[in-house]
Amino acid sequence: MGRSAVAIPEKLFFKIGEVCELAGVQAHVLRYWESEFPTLAPQKNRAGQRVYRKRDVEMALRIKELLYEDQYTIAGAKKRLANNLRAGGKLKIVSPENGEDHEDESGQSAASARTGIKTEMSRAISEARTAEDRKALRKVATELRELLALLEKEPRKTR
């Protein structure tokens, strides 16, 4: 059963039992995966219970797929996930909200690119684990905004 076969409900948070049911694994397995895979990192609520976001559920399903279906070892699955994260695009570009924006050569409108970058940076900053991480991400976000402002000032080259 692949990840696409599992319908993840539209909720903000999931309890460990719900994630176990969706992934088809027991709670102790999920807790073990948390210790082995840093990308699977649920938050804890005020009562100290684990609460998983949708991306945590998706990560648990991906880990299960690698371990059970693709027959990777824990070490192999870690490497595969690390390679996927490095190779995959870090920033998602959202579609434009209004159709008035002009697209560049790549087919991406400037407004949608700005919106996507701002959204992803805000998400990354809010999910950073330490104050030091948040500070570093804010610095990167500021530098990206400065670069974007410079690019917007330059006249567009036409072919």
What's the Rg (C-alpha) of the chain?
Answer: 19
Q: How far is CA 79 from CA 48, 57, 86, 135, in A?
A: 30, 19, 11, 28
Q: Which residues belong to CATH 1.10.1660.10 in the chain?
A: 3-87
Residue among 126, 127, 95, 125 at smallest CA distance from 111: 95
Q: Which CATH number fits domain 3-87: 3.90.1520.10, 1.10.510.10, 1.10.1660.10, 1.10.3720.10?
A: 1.10.1660.10
Give mean pLDDT, residues 53-79: 94
pTM: 0.54
Separation CA 44–CA 158 (nearest Å) = 52
- How far apart CA 154 and CA 83 sit, in angstroms, is 35
Residue owning tokens 């692949």: 2
Tell me how far CA of residue 57 lies from CA of 6, 14, 45, 65, in angstroms: 10, 8, 17, 12
For position 136, what pLDDT does the model report?
Answer: 78
How many percent of the chain have pLDDT more than 90? 42
- Residue bearing the bigger pLDDT, 100 or 81: 81
Q: Are 42 and 27 in contact (CB under 8 A)?
A: no
The answer, yes or no, to whether residue 101 has pLDDT greater than 50, is: no
pLDDT in tens, 6-32: 888 988 999 999 999 999 999 999 999
